[in-house]
Amino acid sequence: MKKRISVLIPTYNEEENVVPLSEAIVAEFQKNLPQYEYEIVFIDNDSTDTTRDKIRMICKKDPQIKAIFNAKNFGQFNSPYYGLMQTTGECVILMCADFQDPIDMIPKFVEEWEAGNKIVIGIKSKSKENKILNSSGTKIKTSCYYKLIKKMSSVEQIEHFTGFGLYDRGFIEVLKELDDPTPFLRGIVAELGYKRKDIEYQQEKRRAGKTHNNWYSLYDAAMLGFTSYTKVGMRIATIAGFILSGISVVVALIYLVLKLIFWYRFVAGMTPILLGIFIFGSIQLFFIGLLGEYIMNINSRVTHRPLVIEEERVNFDKSGDEE
């Protein structure tokens, strides 16, 4: 009996890509992996274009292609995570819908999986996409971020990992047991993953459509990783609070002594007062914002909302795979 390999593709407004992508994946399996059975699962995050119509058309032609349509947009982390748990293959390959993740990496992932690696991930070494987001300055900032997180966290941080990779069924079962309402797959792979193989690749330019990555989405991912896997931020705030409080007391005492000794000659004026207010006020605002990020992370976990609410499934019932 053939082993089944699932390919999960999260989508949002990818009307120009879903048809050629599904055709390319099927062709890759037929040419280089004929010994395996494939399952392609699209999970659509409430697209506003004709993506869903295109996916329905694909599913109608091929029962091995399935779809989950979310009731609304549940974000860039929840939807792929939920989709991974709905697949039925002995391993799952997660890739984006815009051709930035090379399809010819699939046989390489499978080869390493058959060699005993339970997780095989793609590490982005170069990118042809978005000159601004991939400028040398941005790359330096990204590297600095990863180095900072590595020093602050006891959990390994995987640099330049987008989620593109192959995950064994055993790891998928671990994801199900976690029951995490705010999953950060990149961190989970590093923290709880099995034996892993990293393969470098060059990220291709988006085939069609507009990229959904922007500064806010990158910031969102960075803060989720920071607040989920480090305690250092809050400890820095506490230590800084003690230090700055001590400095404030010392400065206040110095000013008091100078004023008492040189009562008429020592005029402090408003400048040091205003400087003190601006400096300490800005530091307080920074740490209040950081505290807010931690609180939002905690709040999203304790409310324990579902990862995704489905509106429709296509082709799951035809093969008896619905869970």
pLDDT of residue 193: 66
Averaged pLDDT, 50-70:
96
Residues 269-300 have pLDDT tens digits of: 666 676 677 777 777 777 777 777 777 667 66
Place of tokens 């995950």: 167
pLDDT mean across residues, the chain: 81
Which ranges of 33-168 would DSSP assign to H, the alpha helix? 51-61, 75-86, 105-114, 136-152
What are the start-end ranges of the E strands in the chain? 3-11, 36-44, 65-70, 91-94, 119-127, 161-168, 196-203, 310-314
Phi, psi of 211 (to 5 degrees): -65, 145
Task: Assign 229 a pLDDT band (cuts: 50, 70, 90).
Answer: low
Q: Collapsing DSSP states into helix, strand and coil, what is residue 29?
A: helix
Residues 116-142 have pLDDT tens digits of: 999 999 999 887 765 544 544 445 555
Q: Where are the domains of the chain?
A: 3-131+158-214+306-319, 232-302
Q: What is the dotted CATH code of the domain comprising 3-131+158-214+306-319?
A: 3.90.550.10
What are the start-end ranges of the E strands in 150-195? 161-168
Amino acid at 253: L
From first CA to last CA, the distance across the chain in angstroms is: 22
* pTM recorded for the entire structure: 0.72
Averaged pLDDT, 240-262:
75
Phi, psi of 186 (to 5 degrees): -60, -40
Nearest Cα residue to 180 out of 118, 213, 229? 229
Strands 161-168 and 3-11: unpaired
Residue 240's H or E segment, with its range, is helix 232-261
